[in-house]
Chain A
Amino acid sequence: MSGLSAKRISGGGWGERGGPPNADRVRIVVGHLYPEYLNIYADRGNIAVLAQRAAWRGHELEVQVVSADDPLVPGAHDLLYIGGGQDREQALVARDLVSKRGAVLEAAAGGAAVLAVCGGYQLLGRFYRFGNGEELPGVGLFPHHTIAGERRMIGDILLETELEGERRTIAGFENHAGRTYLDADAEPLGRVVAGFGNDGESGHEGCRVGRAIGTYLHGPLLPRNPWLADWVLAQAIAHRTGEAPRFEPLDDQLEDEAHAVSSQRARARGGRF
Chain B
Amino acid sequence: MRVPLPLPALAATARAAGALSRLAGQGGGTTLPGKLLWKLDPGAVARLASRLPQGSAVLSATNGKTTTAAMTAEILRGKVRLAHNAAGANLVSGVASTLLAADHAELGLFEVDEAALPQVAELVQPRVLALGNLFRDQLDRYGELELIAERWRELVHRLPADAQLVVNGDDPQLGDLVRERPDAVVFGVDDRRHARPGGLQHAADSKHCVRCGAPYVFHAAYVGHLGEYECPQCGHRRPPLALAAREIELNGLDSTSFELAEPEGSRRVTLPLPGLYNVYNALAAASLSRALGASLDDVVAGLERFGAAFGRFERIAVGDRGLLMLLIKNPAGANEAIRTLVAGGAPTLAVIALNDAIADGKDVSWIWDVDFEPLLESLERVVVTGERAAELALRFKYAGFDAGAIEVLPSLERGLDRGLALTPPGAELVVLPTYTAMLELRRIVAERGYVAPYWEAA
Question: By the criterion CB–CB under 8 Å, are A14 and B399 in contact?
Answer: yes
Measured CA separation A49–B398 after assembly (Å): 6
Mask of A51-91 contacts with B, CB within 8 angstroms, 1/0: 01000000000000000000000000000000000111100
> Is A45 an interface residue, CB under 8 A from the partner?
yes
Q: Shortest distance in angstroms between B355's beta carbon and chain A's nearest beta carbon?
A: 12
Question: By the criterion CB–CB under 8 Å, are B400 and A254 in contact?
Answer: no
Given A48-B399, A86-B145, A154-B140; A3-B394 close (CB under 8 Å) = no
- Count chain A residues whose beta carbon lies closer than 8 angstroms to a beta carbon of B: 52
Q: Shortest distance in angstroms between A160's beta carbon and chain B's nearest beta carbon?
A: 21
> Is A155 an interface residue, CB under 8 A from the partner?
yes
Mask of B200-226 contacts with A, CB within 8 angstroms, 1/0: 001100011000010100000000000
Q: Shortest distance in angstroms between B347's beta carbon and chain A's nearest beta carbon?
A: 16
Measured CA separation A11–B376 after assembly (Å): 9
Question: By the criterion CB–CB under 8 Å, are A220 and B144 in contact?
Answer: no
Question: By the criterion CB–CB under 8 Å, are B139 and A175 in contact?
Answer: yes
Contact of A45 among B141, B143, B365 (CB under 8 A): B365
Question: By the criterion CB–CB under 8 Å, are A16 and B144 in contact?
Answer: no
Contact of A3 among B356, B399, B407 (CB under 8 A): B407
Question: By the criterion CB–CB under 8 Å, are B403 and A4 in contact?
Answer: yes
Measured CA separation A3–B208 after assembly (Å): 44
Contact of A7 among B143, B364, B369, B403 (CB under 8 A): B403
Contact of B404 among A5, A13, A152, A258 (CB under 8 A): A5
Q: Shortest distance in angstroms between A114's beta carbon and chain B's nearest beta carbon?
A: 21
Question: By the criterion CB–CB under 8 Å, are A8 and B395 in contact?
Answer: no
Which A residues are in CB contact (< 8 Å) with B440? none
Which B residues are in CB contact (< 8 Å) with A257? 390, 393, 408
Question: By the criterion CB–CB under 8 Å, are A2 and B362 in contact?
Answer: no
Measured CA separation A12–B401 after assembly (Å): 7
Question: By the criterion CB–CB under 8 Å, are B400 and A40 in contact?
Answer: no
Question: By the criterion CB–CB under 8 Å, are B391 and A175 in contact?
Answer: no
Which B residues are in CB contact (< 8 Å) with A16? 400
> Is B47 an interface residue, CB under 8 A from the partner?
no
Q: Which of A85-101 contact B (CB under 8 A)?
A: 86-89, 92
> Is B402 an interface residue, CB under 8 A from the partner?
yes
Question: By the criterion CB–CB under 8 Å, are B404 and A223 in contact?
Answer: no
Mask of B341-374 contacts with A, CB within 8 angstroms, 1/0: 0000000000000001000001111111100010
Which B residues are in CB contact (< 8 Å) with A251? 403
Q: Which of B263-319 contact A (CB under 8 A)?
A: none
Which A residues are in CB contact (< 8 Å) with B401? 9, 11
Which A residues are in CB contact (< 8 Å) with B394? 223-224, 254-255, 258
Q: Shortest distance in angstroms between A152's beta carbon and chain B's nearest beta carbon?
A: 5
Measured CA separation A251–B393 after assembly (Å): 13
Question: By the criterion CB–CB under 8 Å, are B403 and A155 in contact?
Answer: no
Which A residues are in CB contact (< 8 Å) with B393? 4, 254, 257-258
> Is A1 an interface residue, CB under 8 A from the partner?
yes
Closest to A53 in B: B398
> Is A184 an interface residue, CB under 8 A from the partner?
no
Which A residues are in CB contact (< 8 Å) with B391? 223-224, 258, 261-262
Q: Shortest distance in angstroms between B143's beta carbon and chain A's nearest beta carbon?
A: 5
Closest to A86 in B: B144
Mask of A1-37 contacts with B, CB within 8 angstroms, 1/0: 1111111111111101000000000000000000011
Contact of A154 among B143, B377, B408 (CB under 8 A): B143
Question: By the criterion CB–CB under 8 Å, are B390 and A261 in contact?
Answer: yes
Which B residues are in CB contact (< 8 Å) with A142? none
Question: By the criterion CB–CB under 8 Å, are A173 and B365 in contact?
Answer: yes
List 23 A–B pairs whose Cβ atoms lie within 8 Å, in order of A's numbering.
A6-B397, A8-B404, A9-B397, A9-B403, A11-B377, A16-B400, A36-B207, A37-B208, A39-B369, A48-B398, A52-B397, A52-B398, A52-B400, A86-B145, A88-B213, A89-B208, A154-B141, A173-B363, A218-B365, A223-B391, A255-B394, A261-B387, A261-B388
Return the 10 tightest CB-CB contacts between A and B, nearest first: A42-B368, A6-B403, A45-B368, A258-B390, A257-B390, A42-B365, A16-B400, A12-B400, A223-B394, A48-B398
Taking A173-B140, A254-B408 as known contacts, 11 extra A-B pairs with beta carbons closer than 8 A to each other, sorted by chain A number, are: A9-B397, A13-B400, A39-B202, A49-B398, A88-B213, A92-B213, A219-B363, A223-B395, A254-B406, A257-B390, A261-B390
